[in-house]
Chain A
Amino acid sequence: SQQGEEDPQALSIQEGENATMNCSYKTSINNLQWYRQNSGRGLVHLILIRSNEREKHSGRLRVTLDTSKKSSSLLITASRAADTASYFCATDVGGGSEKLVFGKGTKLTVNP
């Protein structure tokens, strides 16, 4: 079953613009992570936000978490062509399980 689902499925913007991707999930979580994947390559961890945190920053990345709405957003500011990639959220399923469930991803294209 799909725990996290990203929205939109695809996003195309111009260099310099901000990109916002959303992730919704179904069950209570302990943590939510965002990963990036360049085409056909391994995923790279971007940021982890815990359920008791509301916002986290890392460089040009800003992640928010709203546990009441079971949603998270990833904002990339001042985007660059090199940010072109797919972005995935991943959540645990709670209850001490080791399972990590990924969404289907948002494919971001940043046009130069």
Chain B
Amino acid sequence: EAQVTQNPRYLITVTGKKLTVTCSQNMNHEYMSWYRQDPGLGLRQIYYSMNVEVTDKGDVPEGYKVSRKEKRNFPLILESPSPNQTSLYFCASSFWQTSTDTQYFGPGTRLTVL
């Protein structure tokens, strides 16, 4: 089944404790993105990747890192999480350009930083 998977689905952590949210897609997509969703603010793009080893900042990249060492994986890294990073996170992928192609979203990761 074609899908985007994220792990973990739920995470409660404390300020400053490094964490990684994994994202994997099995559709051989070139493009992958990370978004955060907050009440009243909608979805905002954090980072995106157009191919292996090619990543770029979205609208809200501060406090996040990403890597794209393999085509299928695009982990989101929070080196020193803070409470303002409490949010619902989505990974998405598309075959062609993000802006011109259907994006397939993962189920989301609900992160709470205490």
Contacts and interface: CB of A to CB of B under 8 A. Distances in A.
Interface residues of A, number: 27
A31 B100 contact: yes
B98 interface: yes
Nearest to A47: B102
A30 B101 CA distance: 11
Given A98-B31, A99-B59, A31 B99 contact: yes
A100 B42 contact: no
Interface stretch (A13-21, A37-45, A64-72): A37-45
Contact of B40 (A40, A88, A104): A104
Q: Is the interface of B mostly helix, strand, loop or mixed?
A: strand
B88 A104 contact: no
Contacts of B98: 92, 98-100
A104 B37 CA distance: 9
Interface in A1-35: 1-2, 30-31, 33, 35
Interface of A: 1-2, 30-31, 33, 35, 40-45, 48, 88, 90-93, 97-105
